[in-house]
Amino acid sequence: MLTKKTFRGAGWSVSSRLISRLIDFVTLLALARWLTPADFGLIAVALILVSVTDVILEMPLTAALTRLREVEQSHLDTAFTLGVIRSGALATIVLCGVWPFSMFYADSRLVPLIIFLMLGPMARSLNSPGMVYFIRAINFRTMFLAETAAKLIACCLALLTLYLGGGYWAVVVSSAAPHVLLALISYILAPYRPVFSLSEMPVFVGFIGWFSSAQLVSAVSWQLDKMLLGHVISKSELGKYSMAGDIAVLPSQSVIGPAMQPVMAAFSMINNDRERLKRAYVTVSRLTMVLSVPAFLGTALCADLVVSVLLGSQWKDSADYLRILSLSMLLLSYYQPLSSMAMAIDQPSSLFRLNLMDLLLRLVAMPLGLYFYSVYGLIIARGLVSVVMFVAYMTTVRCFLGLSISAQLLNLWQVALGCCVMTGVVLLVRDQLAGVISNSLLELAIIAPIGAAIYFATLVAFGVRLKTRPELT
């Protein structure tokens, strides 16, 4: 059944991302213990140019192939050719902009860092297009093996760089190496003989055009805070903020994001039956929020413990950033099932409009928040924008599926109640443990399972069943 294949695929995809994040954590812990916040701040600045250019030129070639009824050799050839064109365009833009960028930030070290960092997204454009057959079959076991192998090798290379005295270059290796390795592995798992052809270009043009436009404004939105802060705070402080941001997004990047790829494939198979699609979306959107909201909230409630355990005392100032950033992201995960559905029904233009709205709101709110209340004002502004965007997401779903905003909110009321109960219990337990336990790891090990148990017990008590009725069959 489609439901079993979807959840099995989601399981492999999520497992791949969780193991990748676990490997990243091992690397991060080693780097954070040996490097300084200023080192991470330098890399954060270098990544601005690479990340923005990468997202601006993003081509969802795999998604475009996934939604097709049949994938032929000519489709693969066109996808490969577009990937090569994207890789060359990315290199050209970055190389043209790297020197002005380094002068703008008055740091010549940025030049070699940016050149090496761009190798990662360049390699990602050159993955074997044949890997799409595994995705269309909702077979993510192969992807799991490839991504895990690439991450393990990259971790070893990063730690070796650190051991040999490479300093912040170890962060560069950990960022770029996985993509280069994964590109090489993809040709072993899905052999493909490169052929340059654009014969199927019309199949890609409309889909890629809207998606790339959406990615362009999304890139600016997500890098806007670092662009603003790069001129008003030190690199050390920016490193702390950047690290807090990386930890805050883990629930979304590690669980929800990877689960959406098989969900998008499943949505594509039922996109002609809007009633089935509506039922499927209700199930997926609630499951998304059931998993992501308490993760963000729990991170906020225990931010000081998380920073102490993962990063050490030199990063303790990141805890306040992590707390507010996590709260500002509570509602953002609702976008991810909406994004999968929009691509499945060939409506990428809606994603562009939503991302443009998000950017315009941030351009107004974040500079004002920064001006009046410094860094914390900027983060609070992010949170306020996310509330407005949550309403916009629900409105878009109503337009696509005829699902009213009230029905969508009612679909999530148990999640809100469970989070309220969890918050009360966690705060009470933390208060009782204050002064009794001084070990952050032990305190976190006690609080985390209690909070999770209370949350899921509340969901079950009010009618939520974690094994939901299959809605994709």
Rg of the chain in Å (alpha carbons): 22
List Cα–Cα distances, 45 to 95, 222, 438, in angstroms: 16, 13, 36
* pLDDT above 70 as % of the chain: 89
- Kindly give, in sequence order, each residue whose CB lies less than 8 Å from that of residue 104, ignoring residues fewer than 6 positions away: none
* pLDDT, tens only, 296-338: 999 999 999 999 888 877 788 889 999 999 999 999 889 888 9
pTM: 0.70
Please say whether the beta carbons of 46 and 110 come within 8 A: yes
Boundaries of every domain in the chain: 1-199, 225-473
What is the rounded average pLDDT of the residues 363-373?
92
Task: Give the residue ranges of DSSP H helices in 329-347.
Answer: 335-344
Residue 72's pLDDT is what?
84
In this prediction, residue 473 has a pLDDT band, given cuts at 50, 70 and 90, of: very low
Amino acid of residue 466: L
What is the rounded average pLDDT of the residues 412-441?
92
Nearest-CA neighbor of 90 among 49, 122, 128?
Answer: 122
Lowest mean pLDDT among 35-39, 93-97, 140-144, 191-195: 140-144
Long-range contacts of 464-467 (CB under 8 A, 24+ apart): 464/290, 464/414, 464/418, 466/290
Residue 470's pLDDT is what?
40
* pLDDT, tens only, 8-57: 655 666 666 667 767 877 787 778 778 888 888 888 888 888 988 887 78
* pLDDT, tens only, 264-300: 667 777 777 888 888 889 988 998 899 899 999 999 9
- Kindly give, in sequence order, each residue whose CB lies less than 8 Å from that of residue 360, ignoring residues fewer than 6 positions away: none
- Quick check: helix, strand or coil at residue 439? coil
Amino acid of residue 5: K
Please say whether the beta carbons of 281 and 397 come within 8 A: yes
Nearest-CA neighbor of 302 among 436, 458, 442?
Answer: 442
How far is it, in rounded angstroms, from Cα 466 to Cα 457?
A: 11
Residue 6's pLDDT is what?
56
pLDDT higher than 60, residue 472? no
User: 270 vs 445, which has greater pLDDT?
Assistant: 445
Please say whether the beta carbons of 16 and 143 come within 8 A: yes
How far is it, in rounded angstroms, from Cα 146 to Cα 82?
A: 23
Nearest-CA neighbor of 6 among 274, 266, 267?
Answer: 266
